[in-house]
Each structure stands twice: as C-alpha cells, then as structure tokens.
C-alpha cells in the first residue's frame, strides 16, 4: 500500500511558552520551559522517536501521521490516510509500527510510507482496538487491546469480550495473551534491560509492573501505582512517565517524584526525542509540546 507522502514542510503556526513549576528535582533541565510546538491538530497521540530523534505522532480524527523534524523543528505529514493509527513505536530495523485502529490491525510502515499488515485477528476474531505498543529487545511486540467504540466503525460490539495485553513473537507469526483482568489497558512501556513491563489500566486508575520471561510471557504482576495512564515512557534513570492530567513522573519504586502541568484538557501521550534524546515530547489534545530534560530517553536498536 503506497503512501500519499506530502513533501511540503509545514511552518509551525505558533510557539507558546509555559513556565513549569519550580525545579523540585533534577529531571528537568535548569530554567527549562514547556514549549508549544503547534496547536493545529484535532487529537494528538502515539509519539515515537526514530534513531535520529525525529518524532512521529498521530492526529487520529484527521487520520494522519505527522513527523516532527529534530534538526529544524518543522512538521510535515508523513502518512495520509494512516489507518486511524493510535499508538506508534519503532522496531529494531527502523520500521514504524502502528496500532491501526480503523480495522484493528498492527501495521509495519517503511520510510516512504508503504504498509505491511502484520496482525489482523486473534483466534479468528477481530481485535478490540490495538491501542499502544512496545517492542522488546528481541523484536517481539506487546500490544494493549482495549475496546473503545469508534464513530467510524460499522460494528457496535467487540468480538472479543476481554480487554487484554497480547505478545507478538519476533518473527510476527504468533500472537498470544500475556496479561488480562483489566478494565481498560492502555499505556505500555518496558525497561531497556528487557526485564520489566509496565501496563496502565486507565479504566481502573492503576498501573502494574510485570516480570518479562525469556519467552515473552509475563509473571509477577504487581501494583506499581494507583494512577492509570493514556500513554507512557521511561527515562535512562528508570523513571516512568504517566499521562492524563499533565505528566506525572514516578521513580522505579513507584514513588511520585514530579508533576509537569500541561494547559490542556487532556494529555494523551509522551516520549523522548531530539538529537540527544533529551526533549520530552508531549501530545495533548490538539497540540504538541516539548520540554528540555536533564535525563534522556532510552535508545533502542532501531
């Protein structure tokens, strides 16, 4: 499937500077301010950084994937239409993986926007709605699959009556259930050593940690914090970033260490980007923001 790639660079419409709260800890760079890169979208989601620090994110209502350029701070449309993509993540070969919500699929997108559809069903039934994803050290993919009724769907009920987390094997040939008993699993992120996976149950306002086994299965489910999250990321110190009312940061022990206020009704997702992986890139309603950090995102092998 070919992409209608638009090569025209979009000039950033506005930059709004919002001063953050006092620097109560060292994760935010001294004197840093939250910068609104753009507010021209409908609902931004799924930010993912490539190996050069460029960030790709979705504008789901408008069915587009947008690319933010780390070198010149510009924005342009990378893919339109984009399968109503929600969560995004880069695999170890530099392909962009997308939770394509239009037909509840997992897509793999190359650098010119061509699509390879990897997953369409589980045991003959359509997935509820792949939402967010994380790629482990071996190239396997974890997907949260809650059911949110979309206005563009013809169906009005799920074919699978459980909201689960699935694991897709590194060869993309097998999909298995690795976690269940959630109200609405959403944000997901793993540690760079490949040993721990965090899953947010936004429907129950809880986030859990799991031990990752050699075969990709999960054990040792433990409550991490009594806060759910729409999207998640992790820094090089092991701090976990949850979204919703701004961005709330927890250390690896589940202790809240900082809150980043965002002047939007809802903060959907977050990742690290920039050439040095030291910019926190935030998607919130129709806007995208950046914040200079004193910590770095985790570089994977993409």
% of residues, the chain, pLDDT over 90: 89
Q: Report if residue 285 sits inside a domain.
A: no
pLDDT computed for residue 157 by the predictor: 95
Token look-up 């709260």 returns: 21
The answer to whether residue 5 sits within a structural domain is: no
In degrees and rounded to multiples of 5, residue 181 shows phi and psi of 60, 50
Convert the pLDDT of each residue in 95-128 to its tens digit: 999 999 999 999 999 999 999 999 999 999 999 9
As a whole number of angstroms, the distance between CA 218 and CA 242 comes to: 21
Confidence (pLDDT) at 37: 98
DSSP 204: T
Confidence class of residue 300 from pLDDT cuts 50, 70 and 90? Answer: low
- In this prediction the pTM is 0.92
Label residue 73 left, alpha or beta by phi (over 0 means left) and psi (-120 to 50 means alpha): left
Evaluate whether residue 38 is within a structural domain: no
**Domain encompassing residue 152:** 44-270
User: In angstroms, rounded to a whole number, what is the distance separating the alpha carbons of residues 60 and 65?
Assistant: 8
Structure tokens at 299: 């570089």
Question: Would the pLDDT of 14 be above 80?
Answer: no
Summarised one tens digit per residue, pLDDT across range 29-87 is: 999 999 999 999 999 999 999 999 999 999 999 999 999 999 999 999 999 999 999 99
Cα–Cα distance, 269 to 233 (Å, whole number): 8
Q: Has residue 134 got a pLDDT over 80?
A: yes
Question: How many domains does the structure of the chain reveal?
Answer: 1
Phi, psi of 60 (to 5 degrees): -60, -45
Classify residue 279: in a domain, yes or no: no
Instruction: Please indicate, yes or no, if residue 278 is contained in any of the structural domains.
Output: no
**Residue 293 within a domain:** no
User: Quick one: which of 273, 266, 293 has its CA closest to 42?
Assistant: 266
Domain-located, residue 34? no
CA–CA separation, 197 and 218 (whole Å): 8
- Measured CA distances, 152 to 45, 104, 131, 163, 274 (Å): 17, 12, 16, 20, 34
Sequence-distant (≥ 6) Cβ neighbours of residue 157 within 8 angstroms: none
Domain of 151, CATH number, reads 2.120.10.30
């Amino acid at each position: 499937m070919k992409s209608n790639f638009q090569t025209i660079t979009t000039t950033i419409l506005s930059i709004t500077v919002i001063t953050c709260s006092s620097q109560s800890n060292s994760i935010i760079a001294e004197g840093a301010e939250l910068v609104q890169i753009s507010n021209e979208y409908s609902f931004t989601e799924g930010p993912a950084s490539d190996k050069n620090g460029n960030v790709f994110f979705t504008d789901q209502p408008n069915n587009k994937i947008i690319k933010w350029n780390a070198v010149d701070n510009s924005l342009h449309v990378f893919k339109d239409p984009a399968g109503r993509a929600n969560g995004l993540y880069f695999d170890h070969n530099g392909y962009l993986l997308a939770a394509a919500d239009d037909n509840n699929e997992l897509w793999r997108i190359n650098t010119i926007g061509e699509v390879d559809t990897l997953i369409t069903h589980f045991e003959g039934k359509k997935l509820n709605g792949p939402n967010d994803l994380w790629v482990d050290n071996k190239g396997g993919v974890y997907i949260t699959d809650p059911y949110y009724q979309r206005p563009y769907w013809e169906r009005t009920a799920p074919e699978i009556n459980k909201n689960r987390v699935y694991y897709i094997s590194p060869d993309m040939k097998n999909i298995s259930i690795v976690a269940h008993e959630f109200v609405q699993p959403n944000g997901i992120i793993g540690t760079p050593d490949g040993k721990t996976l965090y899953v947010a149950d936004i429907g129950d306002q809880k986030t859990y940690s799991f031990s990752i086994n050699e075969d990709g299965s999960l054990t040792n489910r433990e409550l991490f914090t009594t806060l759910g999250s729409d999207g998640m990321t992790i820094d090089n110190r092991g701090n976990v970033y949850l979204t919703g009312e701004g961005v709330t940061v927890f250390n690896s022990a589940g202790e809240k260490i900082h809150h980043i206020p965002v002047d939007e009704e809802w903060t959907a997702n977050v990742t690290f980007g920039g050439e040095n992986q030291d910019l926190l890139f935030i998607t919130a309603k129709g806007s995208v923001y950046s914040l200079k950090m004193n910590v770095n995102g985790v570089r994977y092998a993409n």
